Amino acid sequence: MAGVRSKESAYRSWTYVGLLCVTLVLATALGACGDGGADPQTTMTTEMETPVTVSSTTTTEPPTTTDTTETTSETVAISNAAAVYAEDIGGVSHRGQTLYLVVGATAGSEEEARVLLDEATPLFGDMQSYFIVQNSSNFEGMKPGQWVVIEAYLNEPTAENLDFGRRGFPDAKVVEATVLTDDPIPVYEELMGL
C-alpha cells in the first residue's frame, strides 16, 4: 500500500512539474510575440501559485486582401428560343459541374450573340457544332455580365476540337468554369458517346 501511495505522490509531483513547464513555455512564447519591453497586461496563476505574465500587442495595419475571380450568385435568364435550341441539339442541365468552354464570341446582348452564332454556323460545313448562346454570369470562373457563344466539353478540348471551333470563331479560347444555371447545355463528349 505504501508503494502505491508513493507512486501517486511521485505522479502528482511530476504532473505539477509538467504543468509548470508548459506554463513557462507558453509564457515565453507569448512574451516573444510582444515587443519584450511592454508592461504586462495579464497575469495568470497556476495551481502552484506561480505568477506568469503575458503581454499582447496590437497592430494598426489593415488586413491584406487577395484578388479573387469575380463570381455572382445571380444567374441571368436566357430566352426561350436559346433554351429550346440548346435542348434540341442535346443539351441538359449541368448545374454544379465544371466544364471546359470554348468561347467563340462575346457580345453585349443575347440578340448580338445569336447573330454571331447564326453567321458562324455555315462555316462549320456539314459537321454539327454544339455552340450555344449563354450569359457568362451563369458560370463561376467567367467575367459576369456578357453574352457568350460557347461549346462545352467535359475534358479539356483537343487541338482538333479547338481548330474546329475556330472555323466559325477564329479567336476562340478555352475557359474552365462551373455551371450555375439549370439551362440546357450540350456537352460534346456526352453527345458523341465518349
pLDDT per position as a tens digit, 110-152: 999 999 999 999 999 999 999 999 999 999 999 999 999 999 9
Q: Are residues 41 and 88 in the same domain?
A: no
Q: Are residues 105 and 157 in the same domain?
A: yes
Q: How confident is the model at residue 70 (pLDDT cuts 50, 70, 90)?
A: very low
Domains of the chain: total: 2
Q: Report the C-alpha gap between 140 and 72 in whole angstroms.
A: 7
The radius of gyration of the chain from alpha carbons, rounded to an integer in Å, stands at: 32
Q: How far apart are the C-alpha atoms of 146 and 3, rounded to whole Å?
A: 82
pLDDT in tens, 9-52: 444 555 555 555 555 555 555 555 554 444 444 444 444 444 54
Mean of per-residue pLDDT scores for the chain: 78
What digits encode the pLDDT tens for the residues 148-190? 999 999 999 999 999 999 999 999 999 999 999 999 999 999 9
Determine, yes or no, domain membership for 28: yes
Identify the CA nearest to 72 among candidates 146, 148, 173.
Answer: 146
> In this model, does residue 4 exceed pLDDT 90?
no
Is 136 inside a domain boundary? yes
Same domain, 7 and 90: no
82 backbone φψ class: left, alpha, beta (φ>0; ψ -120 to 50): alpha
pLDDT tens digits for 42-60? 444 444 444 544 444 444 4
Do 99 and 171 belong to one domain?
yes
Q: Are residues 185 and 89 in the same domain?
A: yes
Contacts of 96 (CB under 8 A, 6+ apart): 178, 179
| Environment class of 109 (CB within 10 Å of its CB; exposed 0-12, middle 13-18, buried 19+) | exposed
The answer on 179 and 93 residing in a single domain is yes
Q: Tell me: do 86 and 182 sit in the same domain.
A: yes
Range of the domain at 108: 80-192
Confidence check: pLDDT of 81 > 80: yes
Q: Do residues 49 and 102 share a domain?
A: no
- Establish if 70 belongs to a structural domain: no
Answer whether residue 68 shows pLDDT above 50: no
Q: Give the pLDDT confidence score for residue 25 in this predicted structure.
A: 55
The partner residues of 184 in beta bridges, in order of sequence, read: 93
Distance CA 35, CA 51 (A): 20
89 plus 49 within the same structural domain: no
Residue 160 lies in a domain: yes
Surface-to-core class of residue 187, CB atoms within 10 Å of its CB (0-12 exposed, 13-18 middle, 19+ buried): buried
In a domain, 67, yes or no: no
